[in-house]
Structure formats: C-alpha cells, structure tokens
Amino acid sequence: KAGVTQTPRYLIKTRGQQVTLSCSPISGHRSVSWYQQTPGQGLQFLFEYFSETQRNKGNFPGRFSGRQFSNSRSEMNVSTLELGDSALYLCASSWGGAGRTDTQYFGPGTRLTVL
C-alpha cells in the first residue's frame, strides 16, 4: 500500500507570495492533519480534516488555511508569506474511524524556504 505523498518536496518563495502544498493520504484513510516543523518550535499542529470538514485547528494566523477534497486529498495554503514561515510542512493521514486511538502516518514533508 502506498504511503502518504506530499508535493512538491521542496519550494522556494519570496516574502509576500502565497503557496499551496498538496497531500495524498494512504488509500482508505479519511483524516489528514498538517504540522509545521521548525528547529526552534518543533512540531506544531496546524489543522486536521476529516471527510472534508475541519475537525481541529491549531494556533496559527488566518494566513494558513486548508481544505480536503472528496477523495481525501488535502491542500494547505499560506498567503502573504513571511520569513518565519520557512519550515518543513508535514502531512499525516489516519483512518479516522478509530478517533483518538488512530495512528497518524506521516509523509516525507515539503521543505518551504521563504527568501
């Protein structure tokens, strides 16, 4: 079974631009979560989607948004990029049906560099 895929793997943008990252979950998984990983802050939760509905949201500004499609694929968008948005963005998928006991499986991440 194929794992979680994320595209693109690397991205370079300049301040003020916007970016869209894509995540395809493991087949059969209906829940997708997004995390931002930086050396200083570690792994921080962005949001979680289940069956096209946002189920949880972390403490990030409104510039960070996401959505999930009917095939469970998810995208996250960051508008008006800032230097501090440079990070590894990780997507994780889980079945969604087991709720809190679900295991999240991570993709390889998208490395975003903002210049």
Report yes or no: 94 and 33 within 8 Å, Cβ to Cβ: yes
Query: What number of helices (H) and strands (E) belong to the chain?
Result: 0, 11
Closer to another protein by Cβ: residue 79 or 106: 106
Q: How far is CA 9 from the centre of its chain?
A: 12
Provide, rounded to whole angstroms, the least separation between the CB of residue 80 and another protein: 25
Q: Which two tokens stand for residue 76?
A: 């996250």
Beta-carbon count within 10 A of 23 CB: 27
Q: Which range, of 12-20, 55-63, 66-74, 79-87, touches another protein by CB under 8 A? A: 55-63
Q: Hey, which residues between 12 and 51 contact another protein (CB under 8 A)?
A: 33, 35, 42-43, 45, 48, 50
- Name the site residues for another protein (rule: CB under 8 A): 4, 6, 33, 35, 42-43, 45, 48, 50, 55-56, 58, 90, 92, 99-101, 103-109
